[in-house]
Amino acid sequence: MKMPKVGITCYPNQGGSGVVASELGLHLARRGCEVHFISSSLPFRLRDYQEKIFYHQVDMPTYPVFLNSPYTLSLATAMSEVTLQYGLDILHVHYAIPHAASAYLARQMLADQKTVKVLTTLHGTDITLVGQEPSFKPITRFMIQQSDAVTAVSSFLKEETIRHFQCREDIHVIPNFVDARVFKPRDSVEGPRRFAKPGEKVLVHASNFRKVKNLPAVVEVFARVAARIPSRLLLVGDGPELVKVRQRLEDLGLADRVETLGQVDNLERVLPEADLLLLPSLHESFGLVALEAMSCGVIPVVTNRGGANEFIQDGLNGFLRDPEDLEGMTAAALEVLGNDSQRQHMGEEARRDAAGDFGVSCVVKSYLDLYDQLNGAC
C-alpha cells in the first residue's frame, strides 16, 4: 500500500479531539505516512521531535477593521499552500467547525492544480452543541455534505448527526483509541500510592470542566462515597466550572480530601493512581478518558447518554448510569471500592476490552483503510 501524505488539523489545546488527532498523526508517521499538522499552535502531544511529522503554524494577521483575525481563511490558505508544496493527498480535519470549512475552501482553491481529498472527523460537541447553534447549523451541514468522507467517533454520534442534519448516511464509525503500552496499570499494586494514604481509595475526574461534564454530580457522588469509605478525589484539567467545583467541595468540608492537578500533559502518569473514574456528563459522544482509564485497569462510572455503551458493558468492565442518578452512581462506586477482588477482576476485564477493538493498531488501520479508499477514488 502506498502510504498517503496527510495534513491534519485539530484544536491544539488539551481536549479529546486534539488528543485523538495528535496520537493518530504520531502513529501514522510510525507506520510510514508523512504527516503535516496545520494548526494555530503546536498540538500539546507533539512537543518531541518525530521523524515524518511536520508542523505548520497558521499565520493569524490582525487588521484594525477586523473584529477578530479571520482564522478560517488563514487556515484555508495554509492548507492549500502546504498541500501544493508537499503534495498532500488528504486533508484530515478534526472537529467540524471551522476546520472542515477551511479544508473545503483549500480544496476549491487548488481545483485546477492538485487533487486533495477532505476527510472530516466529527467528535461530539461540534455536532451536539456548537453545530446546533442556528448560526452554525446550515454551514455544518454543508461541510458534512461536501467532505469526501466523514467519520464519527461512535455510532451514537453518527445517528445524532443524521438525525439533526438530515444529511448523508455514509458516515464511517471509527472509535477513539488508546495505546495500552502507554496507559497501563501501576507497576506495583502493593507499593505506596502517590495520592492516597494506606487504606484510602482514589476517585478521579478529568475533563475540560465545562457544563456538559455535569460537575455537580462528580462532587455529590464523591461526597456520598467519602462519607462511607476513606477516599480522595483527583481533579485533572481546567475550565470554567472548576471554581464552582472547588467552592462546593469547600462548603462540604471536603477540600482537604481533594487534589486539584490542573492540566496534565501525561495523563498516563495519573490515571493508574486511581481506583475509579467518574464521568457523569450530560452526554458524551465517546468519552476518551474513560477508555484511557480502562486501559490502566481503573473502573469507569460513566454517563449512559451517548456512545459509552459502545465500549463499556455495564457491570462487567465498568458502570453506565443516568447522569441524574446520583444514587446509582454512588452505589456502583461503593460496590466496587468496597470489594478489592471485584475491582481487580473488573479492572482486568476493562484493560482487556480497551486494548482489543479500541487499541491503536485496530483503529489506526481503520483510518488507513479509509485513506486508501479516498486515494483510490482520485
Among 4, 98, 280, 287, binds ligand GMT (CB under 6 A): 287
Cell of 234: 483527583
Q: How far is the CB of 354 from ligand GMT (least distance, A)?
A: 13
Half-sphere exposure of 335 (CA within 13 A, CB side): 15
Cell of 169: 448516511
| Residue of 140, 49, 48 lying closest to 99 (CA atoms) | 140
34 touches 5 (CB < 8 A)? yes
Among 120, 161, 176, 304, binds ligand GMT (CB under 6 A): 176
Residue 39 is a binding residue for ligand GMT (CB under 6 A): no
Residue 158 is a binding residue for ligand GMT (CB under 6 A): no
Strand partners, 321: 303
Residue 359 is a binding residue for ligand GMT (CB under 6 A): no
Residue 284 is a binding residue for ligand GMT (CB under 6 A): yes
Among 15, 43, 272, 359, binds ligand GMT (CB under 6 A): 15
343 touches 326 (CB < 8 A)? no
Residue 363 is a binding residue for ligand GMT (CB under 6 A): no
Residue 22 is a binding residue for ligand GMT (CB under 6 A): no
Residue 43 is a binding residue for ligand GMT (CB under 6 A): no
Total residues contacting ligand GMT by CB under 6 A comes to 20
Q: Which stretch binds ligand GMT (CB under 6 A): 10-18, 97-105, 345-353, 368-376?
A: 10-18
Write the interaction track for ligand GMT spanning residues 240-269; mark x where CB under 6 A is met and - where it is not.
------------------------------
For residues 106-145, which are near ligand GMT according to CB under 6 A? 123-125
Q: How far is the CB of 97 from ligand GMT (least distance, A)?
A: 11
Q: How far is the CB of 78 from ligand GMT (least distance, A)?
A: 21
Q: Which residues bind to ligand GMT, rule: CB under 6 A?
A: 15-18, 20, 95, 123-125, 153, 176, 207-208, 212, 281, 284-288
